[in-house]
Chains A and B, each alone.
Chain A
Amino acid sequence: MKNSTYYACTILAVVLLFVVLSNVAYAMWSETLHVNMKMSMGEFDTRICCYRVLTCCHHCNVTSQLSDNSKALFVSFENLHPGWTGWVALIICNKGTLPAELIGTSVTIVEASDDIEDHFHYEIHYYGPLKIHDLKNIRCCHLPLPFNSSLPIQFDPGQKVLVLIELHIDALYHGEGELDTVFTIRTSLWH
């Protein structure tokens, strides 16, 4: 009994010694090279950075608000009459680090009184890329501007695009009505 325990311990010690030595030998005879890659992504950030709603109607009420992500502009028009014309001017900025492309602008009627939406028309004009800073000098009588661009429009970081949306209620409409509208820009990476 004593002998068998002795032999078992001896065999175990030899095996352990072999395993330990084998590992050391293997580690000494191999080499690991490393390739570490780190990829930092850029920022895609296009937004409506400036806007203005123009109407030549003095008794028409207009309220506007930019969405939290600055991708959409909510505009409510009141007291719209037949033949009414208005303009929504948007400056789209590229505040990211990647070139962008303006694909289009959506005009959606959220709520309307009577059948005014059937008499509501719009036309969109695009300009850019530009270095325009604000819309202070925009006047109804100057619009639309010449030399408009066609979609899609590429604009690099720091560049801007001007969007002019001409709104119109045709003469077939009767009475005065209200319109709640949303103007949304659609952009993507330039390629």
Chain B
Amino acid sequence: MNLKKLLVLPIFLILISSISVALAMWSETLKINVTVNTGEVDAEIVRAYVDDDIPPPTIKPDYNGTPNAWPNCTNFNYTGEGWVAVIKGDIDFEELDKDVAWAEAWTEDTDGDGDNDTAYVKIHNGYPGYMVWLSLEVDNVGTIPIFIDYYVVNGTTLTKEEIEENNLVFLDANGNCEPEVLIQLYNLLGEQIDPGQGRESSWRIVVLQPASENSEYVISVKLVAVQWNESIYYGKK
């Protein structure tokens, strides 16, 4: 009786180990290593140019611009960066007989990634009526197609549809409904820019009559670029 009991345990162990060996022999692990190299959404201002970039006196006279539309108080919204009104209209302009003001534009890489992400424009000795053209060229220097979805002008977000309908952006520094500066924006929005490609846009900047002498006005425009399939314009044509 005791012998039988003693034999059961070794037999059971041998049986188990045999099965385990058999299982080990009949199994195999296959491995698939997947490496995902992600692309890059990256845009650069490759060129910022103003048409009046030589200090006077030159033989090239200034331009005088006058908007053919003027905002009223209800058009203005406070954005935290000043008062902004966006209305429909155009700018009438004429060549003057003197070279008085001038402007300069340059680009900088502010985040140190090797691409110029910021354009600076400086107008010197401005006066009411002075108008200058700013030309911007934006390239897709990443590896993924992009759209520029929005302009954000002094805190006001503008889409392609809004720019196409109303493209005169009036900026009022002190909230008295008397804007001092105007930008006429042209569209850079809603067009797919593939890697290696670029788009150019030309804006007009006008100093308006309420501008004060010896003062300084600041405008900030942000261009928000996103990967093409996340764009608000993706699939719209």
Contacts and interface: CB of A to CB of B under 8 A. Distances in A.
A128 interface: no
A35 B100 contact: no
A32 interface: yes
A33 B216 contact: no
B120 interface: yes
A156 B56 CA distance: 13
Interface residues of B, dominant DSSP: strand
A36 interface: yes
A40 B216 contact: yes
Given A30-B227, A31-B42, A99-B98, A37 B126 contact: no
Contacts of A103: none
Contacts of B134: 35, 37
Nearest to B144: A29
B220 A34 contact: yes
Contacts of A30: 41, 224-227, 230
Interface stretch (A41-49, A56-64, A69-77, A118-126): A41-49
Given A97-B125, A98-B100, A33 B220 contact: no
A38 B217 contact: yes
A39 B224 contact: no
A33 B98 contact: no
Interface in B201-220: 205, 207, 211-220
Interface string B10-50: 00000000000000000000000000000001111100100
B125 A36 contact: no
A190 interface: yes
B211 A41 contact: yes
A129 to B, nearest CB: 13
B123 interface: yes
A153 to B, nearest CB: 14
A136 interface: no
Interface string A2-38: 0000000000000000000000001011111111111
B221 interface: yes
A41 B127 CA distance: 6
Interface size class of chain B, counting residues whose CB lies under 8 Å from the partner chain: 35 or more
A133 interface: no
Given A29-B226, A30-B225, A40 B117 contact: no
Interface string B132-153: 0010101000101010000000
B98 A190 contact: yes
Contacts of A26: 230
Nearest to B224: A32
A142 interface: no
Interface string A141-173: 000000000000000100000000000000000
A130 interface: no
Contacts of B129: 189, 191
B41 A41 contact: no
A126 B207 CA distance: 32
B69 interface: no
A41 B219 contact: no
A98 B98 CA distance: 10
Interface string A84-110: 000000000000111100000000000
Interface of A: 26, 28-45, 96-99, 156, 189-191
7 contacts: A30-B225, A32-B117, A34-B110, A34-B117, A35-B118, A36-B219, A189-B129
